[in-house]
Amino acid sequence: MAKRSYKQNCALAQASDVIGDRWSLLLVRDLLVSPRRFGELQQSLRGIGTNLLSSRLRELEAAGIIERLDGGEFRHHYGLTEAGKALEVAVLSLVRWGLAYGPENQKGYHHQNDWDLLALKALFQAKRAGDLSVCVQFKTDDFAGWMAIENQRVRMGLGEADSADVIVDGTIKDVFDGPPSNRLCSSGSKEKLQRFMSAFVLPAQAERV
């Protein structure tokens, strides 16, 4: 179990005892997107030392937040337990707050395209999606990830989707902030890509949602 620090019989304080240490919540962020190997986590969490990463993983494992996966597709990866996955609601709320009220991105700061999958999920609006069913694959030379909308719910992952309806030659940022999306759509329905994009509230609107 992670060390107790606040010594308060308050659910918020007790949750902070478990996930309030530096890097812990960012570990949860990465694992919400996909299970990861130790080296992949270290690459994502640029600046964390090997010993500190090992310590945080041990603490979160002892707290029942993460687990080591020893079989199947993600053998030798770390993943979230059911308790860890339940943190998604809180993480998405914090992402929305950061997009609406947090400081602007700083030039030179580290960024990974897969984080945008989680940010996009935070901005999803089920009512806007309606009856849309689509899987969008994002591909660049150094990034592959996908997001699917079905039954007004979102799924996401890294790598190649099993079956993509739309393939985009670009990142999520390219689609929402770059040239017209139809220029980036290399395969599939441009109309479905437009409907996909309309299912999300952009950061500038996030505080009004």
pLDDT at 72: 85
Give the CATH fold of the 115-208 domain. Answer: Nonspecific Lipid-transfer Protein; Chain A (3.30.1050)
Is the per-residue pLDDT at 86 higher than 90?
yes
The model's pLDDT over 25-84, given as tens digits with 9 standing for 90+, comes to: 999 999 999 999 999 999 999 999 999 999 999 999 999 999 999 888 898 999 999 999
Query: Where would I find the H helices in the chain?
Result: 11-19, 24-33, 38-44, 50-62, 82-85, 88-101, 115-122, 126-129, 172-177, 181-184, 190-198
Rounded CA-CA distance 148/157 in Å is 9
CATH number of 11-86: 1.10.10.10
Check: CB of residue 61 under 8 Å from CB of residue 12.
Answer: no
Domain boundaries, the chain: 11-86, 115-208
For residue 75 the two structure tokens come to 């053998």
Arithmetic mean of pLDDT, 102-109: 91
Residue 113 near residue 171 (C-beta atoms within 8 A): yes
- Reported as a pLDDT band with limits 50, 70 and 90, residue 184 is confident
Strands 134-139 and 166-168: parallel
Instruction: Check whether 205 has a pLDDT greater than 70.
Output: no
SS3 113: coil
